[in-house]
A and B are shown apart, each in its own frame.
Chain A
Amino acid sequence: MKICVLVKEVPDAAVQKRIDTGSMRLDRSGENNLNPFDTHAIEAAMQLKEGGDLQVDEVVAVTMGPGSAQRALQKAVALGADRSVHLSDDALLGSDVCATGLALAKVLESESPDVVLLGQQSDDGECYTIGAVVADHLKMPSLTQVVKMDVEDGKLRCERQAEYGYDTVSLALPAVISVGDAINEPRYPSLKAIMGAKKKPLDTKSAGDVGIDPGQVGEAGSQTTVISLNPPPPKQAGEIIEDEDTNETVEKIVAWLDERKLI
């Protein structure tokens, strides 16, 4: 069996994210990193492989992105993936959710995975939809925000929280699962794994290699367009107290609450 994990390179959490007003796209020129939510998906793949209830032959990390995205793949490999696939093509630039989902589905199709895993969201895009987009293209059942996953009779028994509480759902394979960040505690890569990551196979593929019609991706294939960017309505900045002397801090909090008749 083969597990593919979709990963993404995102601006580092410490970097102030901003939009390039010319292209209306996220400025990705600063420090980048593997999307932290994706480490849970890799860990989930490793646990399926090591758990032994499924015969997992390999875990493949897959990404779409510019040349620098290879660093995210190397991190994924250091965390346990056996090899990686990098879909990179200028034609993909500016893809919206619709176009990105199609491109990722195409590159996944070329791998014929039995399980596709994703993180709950990307740290930069704040949309939690890619898993469900990819699943429909691949004609596979899917579930998002999964916080518990067990193998039962060759199916995945998953638990997740939806509008009314916890749902337990059984999915036949092949399937696409996005995992929530409470599903596991990702391991730290060993020094050996980090050193060895560059030696594991990495395939770079162009849009044409996986049968993507350039008219269906990038700006040409996107079905949404950003018309303008505006600042949010101004909001009165809150008061900030830096805790240096805790007794003093507490006094200030009590006074603040008292002033507003909250105590």
Chain B
Amino acid sequence: MAGILVYALHDDEGNFNKNSLGALSEAAKLAGELGTEAAAVIVGDISDEGAQGLGNYGVTKVYRAKNVTEGLAQPIVDVMAKVITENDISYALFGGGLLGFEIGAGLTARLGAGVTMEVTKVKVDGGKLISERPILQDSQIADVGYVSEPGIIIGRLNAFDIKETGGSAEIVDLDVELSEWSTKAQMITRGEQRGADIDIEAADVLIGGGRGLGSAEGFDGAEALAGAFDNSAVAATRAVVDAGWWPYAGQIGQTGKTVAPKLYLAVGVSGAIQHKVGMQNSENIVAINKDPNAPIFEFSDLGIVGDLNKIMPKLTEALKARKG
């Protein structure tokens, strides 16, 4: 089989990641065009039912390494390298996220393979895959081909749509001997939620707070602004969540949530790609930023170049006055 292999990430309860499921659907579609098959690789204790269920996204086989724990990249590199080499796999595909980047990179080294990351689209041309990879803050799109097999394709967050086709996959259980260095990193705790459990997915209006708010106290202003709208909440960038200014549950982006509110109003957010991928489908995007060259202005519907410390309080006041 010269097929496409997809890593399907899951949480500790065995729920598969949406971006992985999107990658499975994409791989199945591409495999169809290439006249080959798509397969998934999973690690950890996933039931037969759970594994077979991946067939619903179009893969025909699921390679399962039960003895390997989920969540750290290097043991999974061992598993995937084995499957790829033994089955003559032509491409490995990853949905957007962090672990896929690490595993894809490891495979690049292990197999001497070409890799592309942040891929937004994959095309078939002359029996081969070509990746569309935006570069330089998305100002150019490079079409990138692979010189040798396998080619490693790491998708951008939300690049691939989930398509349920029905069907069940055949399970192939693997016994993989891990590389010595793969066992030298140990997970102590996984997926810890930090801070309050806030809901940003149900809100019509999101105030997105970034490092420009200056401190945790700066978020009081963002909350006041949110209070001037109905059904609103305050979201944040990774920079401020890592700094402990706002709870992780409110984070948007690559390792946070994906949202599409009616209004996304960004205050002190630069608009890095990893943030943009989680909010670019918002219906209306408004940004307040003092740097006229901030990338967020490239994808805002309304951009205000100015100091948020001056603008935000007055805007809050004006909106509150209107609301009465």
Task: Please report A residues at the B interface, Cβ cutoff 8 Å.
Answer: 14, 17-19, 24, 26, 96-98, 101-102, 105, 124, 126-137, 139-145, 147, 157, 161-172, 175, 180-182, 216, 222-232, 235, 238-243, 246-247, 249-251, 253-254, 256-257, 260, 262-263
Contact = CB atoms under 8 A, between A and B. Distances in A.
Given A18-B136, A162-B99, A101 B305 contact: no
B17 A163 contact: yes
Contact of A226 (B144, B185, B241): B144
B118 A127 contact: yes
Contact of B108 (A101, A157, A256, A257): A101
A201 to B, nearest CB: 29
Given A97-B115, A98-B108, A164-B11, A239 B144 contact: no
B141 A139 contact: no
Given A167-B190, A229-B140, A254-B318, A129 B115 contact: yes
15 contacts: A17-B139, A102-B112, A134-B109, A141-B185, A142-B73, A161-B98, A163-B17, A163-B191, A165-B191, A169-B186, A171-B186, A226-B142, A232-B134, A238-B303, A246-B306
Nearest to B154: A129
Contact of B184 (A168, A171, A225, A240): A171
Contacts of A170: 185-186, 188
Interface string B96-127: 01110111111011101111111000000000
B69 to A, nearest CB: 12
Interface in B229-251: 229, 238-239, 241-243, 248
B105 A130 contact: yes
B158 to A, nearest CB: 13
B304 interface: yes
A136 B74 contact: yes
Given A132-B106, A161-B248, A222-B114, A232 B140 contact: yes
Contact of A129 (B108, B141, B300): B108
B193 A163 contact: no
B132 to A, nearest CB: 8
A161 B72 CA distance: 12
B143 interface: yes
Given A129-B105, A133-B105, A246-B311, A141 B255 contact: no
B263 A262 contact: yes
Contacts of A235: 299
A36 to B, nearest CB: 12
A53 B238 CA distance: 29
A225 B145 contact: yes
A249 B182 contact: no
A257 B316 CA distance: 13
A-B complex: 4 closest residue pairs judged by Cβ atoms: A243-B306, A223-B114, A182-B242, A132-B105
Contact of A243 (B139, B144, B262, B310): B310
B17 A161 contact: no
Contact of B101 (A19, A132, A169): A132
Given A136-B74, A166-B192, A170-B188, A232 B239 contact: no
